[in-house]
Amino acid sequence: MKKTNVRAAIRSVTVPPLLAALVASAHAAAAPSPETAFVNGYVYTVDAKNSVAEGVSVRDGKIITVGNNATVRASVGPHAKVIDLHGRMLMPGLVDGHMHPLDGGLLLLFCSLQYRALTEAELVTRVTACRNDPSIPRPGGWLIVNAWFQEAMLPKGTVLTRATLDRIDPVHPIVLHSSFGHSALLNTAALKAAGIDATTKAPEGGEIHHDASGQPTGLLEDSAMDYVVKAEPPPDEAAYLQAAQAALAALRAQGVTSFLDAMAREQDFHAFTAAQKKGVLTARAHLAPLITPTMGSDAKGATDYAIRMRQLYDQGPIVQSPSVTIRNVKLFMDGVISAPALTGIVSEPYRVNKGTAARPDWEPGTSFGPTPYFPHAVLTPLLEELVKAGFDPHMHADGDGAVHIALHAVEQVRSALPGSDFRPALAHDEMVIASDLPRFAQLEAIPVLSFQWEKRAPDTTGATEDALGPIRVAAMEPAYALEKAGARIAYGSDWPVDLLNEWFALKVGVTRENDPEAGAQYRGPLGSQPPLSRASALRAITMNSSYELRQENTTGSIEPGKLADLIVLDRNVMTIPAQEISHTKVLLTMVGGDIVWSTGEVAPVTHGPGLRTSGAGSGAL
Ligand SMILES: [Zn+2]
């Protein structure tokens, strides 16, 4: 469904330059002070009291008045465009505080396994179909396959090796990227191209799997994937820009008006800057340069790199039209706690089966996950240097051991730099030691949670459950416990780790349940924690994520003086049965007063960058 919209949006971008220029100048001449009034709505404001109003008026990209219909109508002139919402819900645009939009965009262009639970035979069929599809880009002859749901392979416990991929193509390189982004599977040709043989050592923070004879199986974890990244012929600039535009189209259709690119590399900086220059950036783009473990030991050097990226790409304070901001830096504390990866750092060891397959006996093993990607001695001085240079560290911390390491460093930096207003974020936090829960509030550390993981699914049950044990599984995904302990919870979809569906994520966030279609084994809530309330979940994905990105004074709520970043929904997510929230459609997305996405049911697209269409756009002039 999203793909159709993306393609439609991409098609609509192609407007002859002259016409586009005419549209722009006509707009400027006819309406120097554009005004829009939304009336007869359920305007969910996310102000301090979560007030509900009937309408909102917008002028020059900003919110002017929020209130009842009469007040809102009175706040605009006779030429204002008045949009009757017919009772529909209007709310702040979504702020996604952790995602990988360029990878998401590429996924829309390249071969994708669609995050499906597949048998080996089904996977072979799909990858073969991709190999035979001439429309799929094959840079340098490589077949790059994304969205491989490694944890959901069927039957349970299936572990693939290069042999499977060699059957599909013994000559050209094939690489499967796991949807979690922490593993890759290569065929023999790809291993060769990446220069990996029996003697190759995995770099710090990574693993190269070997078979009994010592040969690489083709499976690489975490930093060992650098070998693939280096060998895989990258898409060119044009493909990256195309991917950025595909991502932006998907985001505006979902109602996302600001996002954090939580692992920006050169191509991310280039692509989103190019999109901005081209006038097609339809969401406020925050890009976090990645500091790798290797860079981390040189705190000054790593900080200088981030400063250089800021000098090159940051476009200054947030203004009406979307721009590129470099304020956050990204660091990985660990991998993921899900089996078979088990690369999350945990405070108690992963369990291992000391019995047999038929009569399992799960006992604590010896592995606490990998050695810390950033040991204490490295992390604290690094964070301190980054904070002094004005950056907000955004740390991937999945296991409770990694969360503990990150909080410890934040604590050290807080006491070393009293009065500093840095806003550290800890992304994912799938497990948190009970005594660490209140430390988020005490240290003003922001948990950035991926709500859609808070459900029973292949990655939270089965082998993961076995490795963690029932006590830890019961306490997994501690959104409620964090909120109760006073934490300011923000939200990040982590797209494309999962399909981009913010509304499914919200549904899971307020139910902790999967969709019924997922199957009987995934029915019922995950663990024993209650879900967040709808008000809390909506605040997380609007105001609190705005706070994370230092935009809380300009976005995140429908209040006078703020930028008009807002969305209109086809249903009222505060009142419908919770299970239906996942089916929510965004009818209109407005960014800085521009309608950048519209299904046409509420109002036509006006002059949203990149979305001018010959027919639909004319109504706004
Ligand atoms: Zn991520």
- Predicted confidence at residue 61, as pLDDT, reads 96
Burial per residue of 143-153, b for 16 or more beta-carbon CB atoms within 10 angstroms, e otherwise = bbbbbbbbbbb
Q: How far is the CA of 291 from the centre of ligand 1 (A)?
A: 14
Q: How far is the CA of 312 from the centre of ligand 1 (A)?
A: 24
Is residue 4 over pLDDT 70? Answer: no
Label residue 33 by pLDDT band (50, 70, 90).
low
Q: How far is the CA of 250 from the centre of ligand 1 (A)?
A: 18
pTM: 0.82
* Distance separating alpha carbons of residues 196 and 231, to the nearest angstrom: 10
- Predicted confidence at residue 579, as pLDDT, reads 95
- Predicted confidence at residue 48, as pLDDT, reads 98
Q: How far is the CA of 94 from the centre of ligand 1 (A)?
A: 17
- Predicted confidence at residue 137, as pLDDT, reads 79
- Predicted confidence at residue 544, as pLDDT, reads 98
Q: How far is the CA of 465 from the centre of ligand 1 (A)?
A: 22
Label residue 459 by pLDDT band (50, 70, 90).
confident
Q: How far is the CA of 453 from the centre of ligand 1 (A)?
A: 13
- Bridge partners (DSSP) of residue 119 are 154
- Predicted confidence at residue 235, as pLDDT, reads 84
Q: How far is the CA of 490 from the centre of ligand 1 (A)?
A: 14
Q: How far is the CA of 261 from the centre of ligand 1 (A)?
A: 9
Span 600-616, pLDDT tens digits? 998 766 654 444 332 22
- Could you identify the residue written with the tokens 């550290």? 424
Q: Which whole number is the average pLDDT over 326-332?
A: 98
Is residue 123 over pLDDT 80? Answer: yes
Q: How far is the CA of 289 from the centre of ligand 1 (A)?
A: 13
Higher-confidence residue of 499 and 165: namely 165
Q: How far is the CA of 181 from the centre of ligand 1 (A)?
A: 8
Q: How far is the CA of 57 from the centre of ligand 1 (A)?
A: 36
Q: How far is the CA of 204 from the centre of ligand 1 (A)?
A: 20
pLDDT > 70 fraction of the chain, expressed in percent and rounded: 92
Count Cα neighbours of 514 within 13 Å in the Cβ-side half-sphere: 19
Q: How far is the CA of 79 from the centre of ligand 1 (A)?
A: 45
Higher-confidence residue of 239 and 321: namely 321
- Predicted confidence at residue 26, as pLDDT, reads 34
Q: How far is the CA of 203 from the centre of ligand 1 (A)?
A: 21
Q: Which whole number is the average pLDDT over 517-530?
A: 90
Q: How far is the CA of 424 from the centre of ligand 1 (A)?
A: 15
- Predicted confidence at residue 22, as pLDDT, reads 33
SS3 of 121-148: HHHHHHHHHHHCCCCCCCHHHCEEEEEE
How many other C-beta atoms can be found within 10 angstroms of the C-beta atom of residue 190? 28
Q: How far is the CA of 427 from the centre of ligand 1 (A)?
A: 8
Q: How far is the CA of 146 from the centre of ligand 1 (A)?
A: 15
Q: How far is the CA of 100 from the centre of ligand 1 (A)?
A: 6
Continuous H helices in 14-161: 17-30, 69-74, 101-109, 120-131
| The Cα angle at residue 540 between residues 412 and 438, in degrees rounded to 5 | 35
Q: How far is the CA of 431 from the centre of ligand 1 (A)?
A: 16
Q: How far is the CA of 103 from the centre of ligand 1 (A)?
A: 11
- Predicted confidence at residue 489, as pLDDT, reads 98
Continuous H helices in 101-232: 101-109, 120-131, 162-168, 188-193, 226-231
Q: Which whole number is the average pLDDT over 168-195?
A: 94
Q: How far is the CA of 104 from the centre of ligand 1 (A)?
A: 11
Q: How far is the CA of 263 from the centre of ligand 1 (A)?
A: 7
Span 539-594, pLDDT tens digits? 999 999 999 999 999 999 999 999 999 999 999 999 999 999 999 999 999 999 99
Tell me the pLDDT of the chain averaged across its residues.
Answer: 90
* Distance separating alpha carbons of residues 304 and 295, to the nearest angstrom: 11
Q: Residue 491 in contact with residue 558, Cβ under 8 Å?
A: no
- Predicted confidence at residue 517, as pLDDT, reads 85
Of 176-185, 196-205, 322-331, 598-607, the poorest mean pLDDT is in: 598-607
Q: How far is the CA of 494 from the centre of ligand 1 (A)?
A: 5
Helix axes 237-254, 266-277, angle to 10 degrees: 70
Q: Residue 545 in contact with residue 257, Cβ under 8 Å?
A: no
Name, of 457-461, 465-469, 561-565, the range with top average pLDDT: 561-565
Q: How far is the CA of 20 from the centre of ligand 1 (A)?
A: 36
Q: How far is the CA of 178 from the centre of ligand 1 (A)?
A: 13
Q: Which whole number is the average pLDDT over 263-276?
A: 97
Q: How far is the CA of 98 from the centre of ligand 1 (A)?
A: 6
Q: How far is the CA of 604 from the centre of ligand 1 (A)?
A: 34
Q: How far is the CA of 12 from the centre of ligand 1 (A)?
A: 30
Q: Cα(first)–Cα(last) distance of the chain, in Å?
A: 30
* Distance separating alpha carbons of residues 314 and 500, to the nearest angstrom: 26
Q: How far is the CA of 142 from the centre of ligand 1 (A)?
A: 25
Is residue 53 over pLDDT 90? Answer: yes
Q: How far is the CA of 394 from the centre of ligand 1 (A)?
A: 10
Q: Which whole number is the average pLDDT over 361-370?
A: 96
Is residue 620 over pLDDT 70? Answer: no
Q: How far is the CA of 451 from the centre of ligand 1 (A)?
A: 13
Q: How far is the CA of 243 from the centre of ligand 1 (A)?
A: 18
Q: Which whole number is the average pLDDT over 528-533?
A: 95
- Predicted confidence at residue 606, as pLDDT, reads 60
- Predicted confidence at residue 39, as pLDDT, reads 97
Q: How far is the CA of 612 from the centre of ligand 1 (A)?
A: 32
- Predicted confidence at residue 616, as pLDDT, reads 29
Q: How far is the CA of 396 from the centre of ligand 1 (A)?
A: 7
